[in-house]
Amino acid sequence: MPKVNIGEQGFIYPMPMTLVGADLASGPNFMPIAWINRVQMSPPRLAAGMNKAHATNAGIREHGEFSVCLPSVDQVAVTDWCGLNSAGRGADKSALFTVVRGNLEHAPMIAECPLCLECRVFQVVDLGSHELFVADIVATWTEERFLDDAGNPDVTLMRPFTLTMPDNRYWAVGEQVGKAWAEGRAFEGA
Amino acid sequence: MPKVNIGEQGFIYPMPMTLVGADLASGPNFMPIAWINRVQMSPPRLAAGMNKAHATNAGIREHGEFSVCLPSVDQVAVTDWCGLNSAGRGADKSALFTVVRGNLEHAPMIAECPLCLECRVFQVVDLGSHELFVADIVATWTEERFLDDAGNPDVTLMRPFTLTMPDNRYWAVGEQVGKAWAEGRAFEGA
């Protein structure tokens, strides 16, 4: 086999960048999280792996609610700043954004982000250093200007970005390379 | 607030496309999975949400092992074909690839994919229709030609692709838009 084993620290490429919003004792807080994804269609659920030491984890555990906001490529610097600074060490990240609320009491969202999900915790899985928050998505907030003709969020309008590790680089979304559950119909290799 | 609530079916943008490999009674099988991500640094763990009805789930439950392979943009059609066809209905997806093995007995990998992770199940979380496989990453197989000068996998050489839902489109990775844990140092909005 031509492959080489580079060890246990393998990653998925690329990983979506989000800002997770939670209410802490100090107020609303936002933390960059790339270790997150949908995990079930119905009821709609996502899961996020987050180090237990984060101030955000305590807020989510206390209230059982949080938000997941997708920053755009225009928000790379402020998103990264949120990762370099900690509410636990006194940073007030809510001052950087227009904080808005939806249907939940404790899921602070960022008005400047093109899309935000409101989430209610379904289960917390203890992974060791991290905990996995498995949560129901209860609402999806976006703006009309980010929707395509079918009423779906359009990634070319929202312009989210992704992360690769351990090289620690951010990437825009590139060109469309196919249509899912469609492209394979023309595949003749089988 | 300018935002509108488009409902509970909100997604993360974009989601990484992978092919999950497992040993079934019929032989090695590969299923496209975009609902997957890293969830812990050490020990390195990932999580994947997969509908219990899939033949692949049964194979993973039986052996407690699976692989996660990242197809490249050159493999969009074959990846999509794997999602349109089911081993449970007789499709032999292993015939489409060169199947290779690493350190685990039941984690079949695809030689043609630029990067594959070998995984051992840590915990299975029942989500309802889906189950969440939380797994330890035990090895990362790639090729020298996909590594950068620092020895890390380079997304511009591997050329993976992503998925957006519910519009069901595949996307290449775009241009680099920043350096993580660095870009924020120059942010002056705080």
Give A-chain residues touching B127 at CB under 8 angstroms. 39-40, 45, 122, 134
Q: Checking DSSP bridges between strand B18-24 and strand B99-100, what pairing results, if any? A: unpaired
Give B-chain residues touching A131 at CB under 8 angstroms. none
Q: In angstroms, rounded to a whole number, what is the distance separating the alpha carbons of residues B80 and B157?
A: 21
Digit-coded pLDDT (tens) for A10-39: 999 999 999 999 999 999 999 999 999 999
Digit-coded pLDDT (tens) for A77-126: 999 999 999 988 889 999 999 999 999 999 999 999 999 999 999 999 99
Give A-chain residues touching B162 at CB under 8 angstroms. 14, 162, 173
8 Å CB contact of B13 and A10: no
B1, pLDDT greater than 70: no
- pLDDT, position B98: 97
- pLDDT, position A1: 59
- pLDDT, position A88: 87
Q: Which of B13, B42, B77 sits opposite A186 (nearest CB)?
A: B77
Q: How far is A73 from chain B (nearest CA, A)?
A: 7
- pLDDT, position B96: 95
* B190 confidence band (pLDDT: 50, 70, 90): low
* B186 confidence band (pLDDT: 50, 70, 90): confident
Digit-coded pLDDT (tens) for A128-171: 999 999 999 999 999 999 999 999 999 999 999 999 999 999 99
Calculate the CA dihedral of residues A100, A106, A107, A109 and round it to 10 degrees: 20
Q: What is the ipTM of this complex?
A: 0.96
A69 CB-near residues (< 8 Å, 6+ apart): A18, A19, A20, A21, A30, A109, A110, A113, A115, A116, A117
Residue the block writes with tokens 């299975």: B124
- pLDDT, position A174: 98
Q: Could you tell me which of B41, B36, B38 has the C-alpha nearest to residue A46? A: B36
B189, pLDDT greater than 80: no
pTM of the entire predicted model: 0.97
* A190 confidence band (pLDDT: 50, 70, 90): low
Digit-coded pLDDT (tens) for B8-64: 999 999 999 999 999 999 999 999 999 999 999 999 999 999 999 999 999 999 999
* A2 confidence band (pLDDT: 50, 70, 90): confident
Percent of chain A with pLDDT over 70: 99
Give B-chain residues touching A9 at CB under 8 angstroms. 44, 137, 140
Q: Could you tell me which of B49, B142, B175, B155 has the C-alpha nearest to residue A9? A: B142
Digit-coded pLDDT (tens) for B122-137: 999 999 999 999 999 9
Q: Which of B46, B166, B175 sits opposite A152 (nearest CB)?
A: B166
Mutation pick from A101, A110, A164, A181 vs chain B, by most beta carbons of B within 10 Å, is A164
Average pLDDT, stretch B92-111?
A: 96
- pLDDT, position B94: 93
CB of B126 closer than 8 Å to CB of B87: no
- pLDDT, position B74: 98
CB of A119 closer than 8 Å to CB of A78: no
Digit-coded pLDDT (tens) for A33-92: 999 999 999 999 999 999 999 999 999 999 999 999 999 999 999 999 999 999 888 899
- pLDDT, position B2: 72
Bigger pLDDT: B2 vs A68: A68
- Phi/psi at B46 (5° precision): -130, 170
CB pairs under 8 A between A and B: 390
CB of B118 closer than 8 Å to CB of B138: yes
